[in-house]
Chains A and B, each alone.
Chain A
Amino acid sequence: METGMNAAISIRDLTVSFQGKPAVSEVSFDVMPGELTVVVGRSGSGKSTLLRAVNRLNECFEGCETDGRVAVRLAGKTLDAYAPGTDPERLRSRVGMVFQTPNVLPISIERNLLLPQKLVRGVDGAGARDIMERVLDDVGLLDEVKDRLRQPAATLSGGQQQRLCLARTMALEPEILLLDEPTASVDYRSSEHIERLLLRLAPTLPMLVVSHSLGQTRALADRVILIREGSLAGEWRRTSPDADTAFDELLSSAF
């Protein structure tokens, strides 16, 4: 295993438990920059918990305990996510996350994109609007919503909402991206948009994606991590010899 020096995310001996029951136990791996990493596993195997451990979002849930080390590389420096001096808000604002189900804020489309920029990054005015248009364009939403920016975000369709959430995360210009089954609850068109965007971003933006779909994993992943009952159960790399057969073997044991 790599030393984790240059890794974008380095996870060592990570154990997360809720009310004393472990959801993730003793997991170690690295996410290297430029290598799109996909986590697969049955539902309930602890994939989401693993993902949330990176930006300390598990702390929002009651009775959660986290052990082990998670380090992320931000602005050229390695930041220990769970060190006492670490500011969780800064960590979360630099490590973007998109959820399984679209979670637009109950405000207008435009405010969904502008408010976080203003609050988290202090970007306001024309600069923020430029960023807004760029990210909307990136997720293929600009043409669909540019005339209704002031309408509540909840009026969008599910797929549009999910793309809006991705855009909202991108607007904060994160250095690492976490995606929890980003296409699980969207229509085909949105799903395609999202996947295309992820492939385009992958070379420059380190990403950790949880996926439930075989096809998506095959299309996206440079690397696959298999989680079974909270533990690491297998790995795959696109660059490894006989990658195709290994992929099939791994995935057949996963799904």
Chain B
Amino acid sequence: MLAILLFLLWFSLPLCNADALSKLLAWDWRPFQGQFGILPMVAGSLLLSFSALLLAFPVSVGICCFAHGMGPAGPAALLMRFVKLMTSVPTVIYGFVGVFVLVPLMREVFRSGSGFSWLAAMIGLAILVLPTIVLMLHSQFMIVEPQVKLTATALGMTPAQRLLHLVVPNSGRGFATALVLGFGRALGDTMIPLMLAGNAPQVPGSVFDSIRAMTAHIALVVATDSQSLAYLSLFACGLILFLSSTLVNLGLQWLGRPDGRKE
């Protein structure tokens, strides 16, 4: 298994080491004019992932609080089951429905171009990473909550006070893990950016602009055979993704709980 990983690394490294590196680390992607900058894609990936997290995280916290005392017990248990079930929905289906619901909606409501935009992909990704974050937070709350529930209740605290002042402040590690995990998932997903983001290789000026992620870039370039420098860009993207997912993993290891993935 290690050999496989090394192979991937080794395959991308020599391709990157050439003087092509400077060409790749540029802001322009115009394959027909010989410009193969991948920085717009890097920026696109980061922007998309962070914005999706920004959207999904508060909602996830809300869901977890709902499940841990803010909502009635029955619906709360049902909600957690539902979130677990969400992990089994294929990403291509999110993308598919996004194309036919979200994108026309964007077009209608914001009257901006085709509707394939940063915003659409951001919403899609947010839905995708939501279960990951919720389940991680949930497992953290499950550790903290029982320690304080009876005490806090006996002291006369309301569930809201208990969550805001005791459970949440004591779940810091869980929050960090959930964020890192969610980020890794958002960064690594291909189908939603590919199908919803419009894929223009540019740094977007607004959330309604088209954007291209590294993962989608790889898929696109492979699909449209072009010259060899384009392939180089592809492996460079692959390498960046590889390194970032390794970083995410090291981060998780450092946080001490590398489990709680999609399960």
Contacts and interface: CB of A to CB of B under 8 A. Distances in A.
11 contacts: A57-B150, A60-B149, A89-B156, A97-B154, A99-B150, A99-B154, A106-B170, A116-B155, A119-B157, A120-B157, A168-B155
Contact of B156 (A60, A92, A107, A115): A92
Contacts of A60: 149-150, 153
Interface in A124-152: none
Given A90-B156, A115-B166, 18 more contacts: A57-B153, A89-B156, A89-B157, A89-B158, A92-B154, A99-B154, A103-B151, A105-B147, A105-B148, A105-B152, A106-B144, A106-B147, A106-B166, A115-B165, A116-B157, A119-B161, A120-B156, A120-B161
Interface in A82-98: 89-94, 96-97
A71 interface: no
A158 B161 CA distance: 26
10 residue pairs, one from A and one from B, having the closest CB atoms:
A93-B156, A92-B156, A97-B154, A103-B151, A120-B156, A116-B155, A119-B161, A89-B156, A106-B170, A89-B158
Contacts of B144: 106
Interface of B: 73, 144, 147-158, 161, 165-166, 169-170
Contacts of B147: 103, 105-106
Given A105-B166, A107-B166, A107-B170, A120 B155 contact: yes
Main SS class of interface, A: helix
A172 B156 contact: yes
Interface of A: 55, 57, 60, 62, 89-94, 96-97, 99, 103, 105-107, 115-116, 119-120, 165, 168-169, 172
B173 to A, nearest CB: 12
Contacts of A116: 155-157
Contacts of A168: 155
Contacts of A57: 150, 153-154
B44 to A, nearest CB: 41
A169 B154 CA distance: 9
B153 A99 contact: no
Contacts of B161: 119-120
B151 A92 contact: no
A106 B154 contact: no
Contacts of A103: 147, 150-151
A82 to B, nearest CB: 16
A103 B73 CA distance: 24
A31 to B, nearest CB: 18
B153 A169 contact: no
Contacts of B152: 105
A89 B157 CA distance: 6
A105 B169 CA distance: 12
Contacts of A92: 153-156
B155 A169 contact: yes
Nearest to A121: B156
B87 to A, nearest CB: 26
A42 B163 CA distance: 36
B154 A105 contact: no
B156 A105 contact: no
B140 to A, nearest CB: 13
Contacts of A105: 147-148, 151-152, 166
B165 A99 contact: no
A115 B157 CA distance: 10
Contacts of A107: 166, 169-170
